[in-house]
Every structure is written in C-alpha cells, then in structure tokens.
Amino acid sequence: MPGIVVVGAQWGDEGKGKATDQLGDRVDYTVRYSGGNNAGHTLVVNGEKYALHLLPSGILNDSVPVIANGVVIDLDVLFEEIDGLNARGVDTSKLLVSANAHVIAPYHKVMDKVTERFLGNRRIGTTGRGIGPAYSDKINRLGIRVQDLFDDSILRQKVEAALEQKNHLLVKVYNRRAIDATEVAEELLAHTERLRPMVADTVRVLNTALDAGQVVLFEGAQAHHLDVDHGTYPYVTSSNPIAGGASTGAGVGPTRIDRVIGIMKAYTTRVGEGPFPTELLDADGEKLRQDGAEFGTTTGRNRRCGWFDALVVEAAVTANAFTDMFLTKLDILTGWEKIPVCVAYEVNGERTTTLPMTQTDFHHAVPVYEYLDGWTEDISGCREFSDLPKNTQAYVRRLEELVRCRISGIGVGPSREQAVMLHDLL
C-alpha cells in the first residue's frame, strides 16, 4: 500500500496533522505537496504539543520529511521551525526540499497585506503569509525557485523582474514605498548555504521509494473547499490541496496513489471569509468554539463554527475519491442532548442533497437538519468502536451513510494514542 494521500474534506483544520501522525512509524516518507506556512498542524506527542506550519508531520516520527515542488516556502519560517524543533531535541537532519519549490519573497507578504486592505469588505481573510502572490508569480512565470538561490546572478535578475511591475503598483496604486531588489536578493541568498544540503530531486527520490514498495504519505494542507478549482472561490487559497494536487505537487503519477484518506471534523469550522451554510452565530457556536478550542494555529483568529454539513463533505468524497474517512474531534460533541446534522439545503424553495453548482445558490442555501441523539459519556478513553456509547456509534454510522464513504478511524482526543481504528489505513 505505498502511495497514500491525506486531504481535508471541509475548510481546513480538520486534524490532518494528527491523522497523518497516527499512521506514524509505518511510513517511510511524509510529503507536503501544496500550500505553505498558511497551514497550521497541531500534534500532541507524548504530552508535548507541536505546531507545524511548513514541515510535514513526519518530522516527528522516523519517516523522511519532504517539502515537494508544489509547496511555496518562506525560508525564514522554514529555518525558524527547524531551529524550534532542534531546541526541543527533534532531529530534522533528514529533511529534503525540492529544487523546484517556489520561494515566498518579502514582497509577496507585502502584496498579500496591501491587496487584502484594498479589497475592503470583499477581502478573502487570508493568513497574510504571501501565499496568493507567490503562487500568482509562479503561474505568471515570475517566481523564484529554490534552485535559483544557487545562481547568484540569475537570482538577482529574477528578483528584479518580479519587482518591476510590483513596484509600480506599490508606489502608484497602493501608495507604498518601492522595494529594493538588491536587498531582497541579499536576504534570500543569506539562506543558500544552509539550504543547500537539504535540496534534492524529490521527484526521483519519491518515485524510487515507490518503486521499492516503500510507504509514501502525502500530507495535505488546507482542504477541498479551500482548493482554487474546487473550493468556494474566490474564498479559497491559491493552490490545489485536493488529492490530485499530490500528483502535480510532488511529481508522482495518479497510478501511484493507492489510498486517499479524507479528514473530517465531527462538526464544521472555517477561518477567514466565505460562505458557510451551517455556521452558528449564537451561543451554540460559541460552545463548539470553546469546547473544541477552535482558535487558529497560524493566525490565532477565532474559527467560525457550525454543525456537520454532509453536503460539504460528500462533495469532497466525490472529487477526491476518498477510500477512507478519518473522523476527528468526536469527543468535542459529548454533552449535547441532540446533535443537528445538515442533510440537505433549501435553495429558493427547492430541496437539494448535493452541493449547488453556483456560488449564488450556495450563498442562498438554508440547511435542513436531522437531529441525532447525543451522549454524555466521556469517550476520550475509548479505543475500540464497541467502547463508544450506542448513540455515538449511531452518529458515526449516520455520517458514514450521508457522506458515502466508510469511516476507518475516529479521533477522540488530541493525543497520538486517542483514536479508535475501524480499518487499517496502511
């Protein structure tokens, strides 16, 4: 079972880091294939909490961590994260970084912030990490790649080219100071020697590992509904976090992927702007936020909270062809008498059980709820499905039916061992 992809099935923060870590020591390579340090993956290992933004969760187990070509890398953040882990005794020496990955330059972060401000109430609510501008430059063929740091004069030319138009925009439209190309180039080049030993032809490394039958786990960041093609555009990120993104983002053919695991939270959360039909703006939403500690790992923003939306997850099941689902944070739902689950929408007086095709209809969707019986027992110590209260089991089975994919693992707490496995994921 060598190629496995983990993908968020909602709007991010489903617990992908923990689910990835769960597969742990049986994995040979753990690969980030999209996004950048807009991600925040929290893991609790032996009582220690780790928040990873750029490094794959495999950095905490014995697998080889890989940052593949599809990722955009803020080098300051990369080295800060490495230093932070080293200071806690974590070995990061096996990390590999693709020569083709793009670099987030200081001007990308500036552009992210000024464009958001300029959008006013049409803003996306980005993480401000320069993700969108870095991917825009990549698509515009104005990007800086990791390998450009190895050629001083090429790097300087590329930074100049990237800044030419941006400086006009910054000065004439956004009323900001121009950015000096030499300063940017020097800042990037300062990282070259530290980066050099990590840089590899990761496409070859990963395909050779797959040829040898080794287990390669592609750890998704963001989520299906934040995907630039499949998400709630324009309230999305600028990459393809979906399962297919692992193919382009790491250079492995689709036939290499044997298993696709969707991660879904037992309720729904979202950070930033954009439609969210089951959002709760009342005391129930606040209770979910407090019980689930739904505050962003990356920006510290409150996560918007709402009930489980089966239509949202079912759309992700369809486009990603998930083979398995991992249901997280089921323990957070303990204590509700009835738990609403969205099973359909009313859109302009018509009922639908699949996600509307257009954004306008999605904005007008009114959730139709089914009310499942809750439970009061503490489930955080359960390790077998049969240990779970009957109503909890019924909740799991109903979600499974609604999203049309089997649930193979359940998270009942933040720690590595707090899980119930129904089917082996490897």
Catalytic residue numbers? 13, 41
Q: Please report whether residue 13 would count as binding ligand IMO according to CB under 6 A.
A: yes
Cα(385)–Cα(369) distance, rounded to whole angstroms? 25
Report the nearest approach of Mg ion to the CB of residue 297 (Å): 5
Cα radius of gyration rounded to whole Å, the chain? 22
Cα(245)–Cα(111) distance, rounded to whole angstroms? 25
Q: Please report whether residue 312 would count as binding ligand IMO according to CB under 6 A.
A: no
Cα(162)–Cα(145) distance, rounded to whole angstroms? 12
Report the nearest approach of ligand GDP to the CB of residue 401 (Å): 21
Q: Nearer Cβ to ligand GDP, position 12 or 251?
A: 12
Tokens of 231: 């998400």
Q: Please report whether residue 8 would count as binding ligand IMO according to CB under 6 A.
A: yes
Report the nearest approach of ligand GDP to the CB of residue 394 (Å): 18
Give residue number: closest CB to ligand IMO. Answer: 272
Q: Nearer Cβ to ligand IMO, position 136 or 393?
A: 136
Place of tokens 């969210």: 276
24 binding partner (options Mg ion, ligand GDP, ligand IMO, none; Cβ < 5 to 8 Å by kind) = none
Residue 69 and residue 172 in contact, taking contact as beta carbons nearer than 8 Å: no
Which residues 6+ apart lie within 8 Å of 16 measured at CB? 6, 7, 8, 41, 219, 220, 221, 263
Residue 333 and residue 374 in contact, taking contact as beta carbons nearer than 8 Å: yes
Site residues, ligand GDP (CB under 6 A): 8, 12-18, 39-42, 44, 297, 328-329, 331-332, 411-414
Give 256's DSSP letter. G
Q: Please report whether residue 126 would count as binding ligand IMO according to CB under 6 A.
A: yes
Q: Please report whether residue 67 would count as binding ligand IMO according to CB under 6 A.
A: no
Cα(98)–Cα(71) distance, rounded to whole angstroms? 9
Kindly tell me which residue out of 7, 52, 195, 226 binds ligand IMO, with binding defined by CB under 6 A.
Answer: 226
Kindly tell me which residue out of 2, 3, 12, 262 binds ligand IMO, with binding defined by CB under 6 A.
Answer: 12
Stretch that binds ligand IMO, among 67-75, 157-165, 205-213, 217-225 (CB under 6 A): 217-225
Q: Nearer Cβ to Mg ion, position 42 or 192?
A: 42
How many residues bind ligand IMO (CB under 6 A)? The answer is 22
Alpha carbon distance, N-terminus to C-terminus of the chain: 6
Report the nearest approach of Mg ion to the CB of residue 302 (Å): 14
Q: Nearer Cβ to ligand GDP, position 163 or 228?
A: 228
Strands 48-52 and 41-45: antiparallel
Report the nearest approach of ligand IMO to the CB of residue 85 (Å): 18
State how far Cα 121 lies from the chain centre.
Answer: 25
Tokens of 418: 């707090």
Report the nearest approach of ligand IMO to the CB of residue 12 (Å): 3
Place of tokens 């079972």: 1
- What phi and psi, each to the nearest 5 degrees, are found at residue 400? -55, -45
Give residue number: closest CB to ligand GDP. Answer: 411
Q: Nearer Cβ to ligand IMO, position 109 or 158?
A: 109
18 binding partner (options ligand IMO, ligand GDP, Mg ion, none; Cβ < 5 to 8 Å by kind) = ligand GDP
Q: Which of residues 38-57 bind ligand IMO (CB under 6 A)?
A: 38-41
Place of tokens 């909740």: 395
Q: Which helix H or strand E contains 407, and what residues bound it?
A: strand 407-411
Buried b / exposed e along 287-324 (16+ C-beta atoms within 10 A): ebbebbebebbbbeeebbbbbbbbbbbbbbbbebebbb
Cα(90)–Cα(59) distance, rounded to whole angstroms? 8
Q: Please report whether residue 124 would count as binding ligand IMO according to CB under 6 A.
A: yes
Report the nearest approach of Mg ion to the CB of residue 296 (Å): 7
By CB under 6 A, name the binding residues for ligand IMO: 8, 12-13, 38-41, 124-127, 129, 131-132, 221-223, 226, 237-238, 271-272
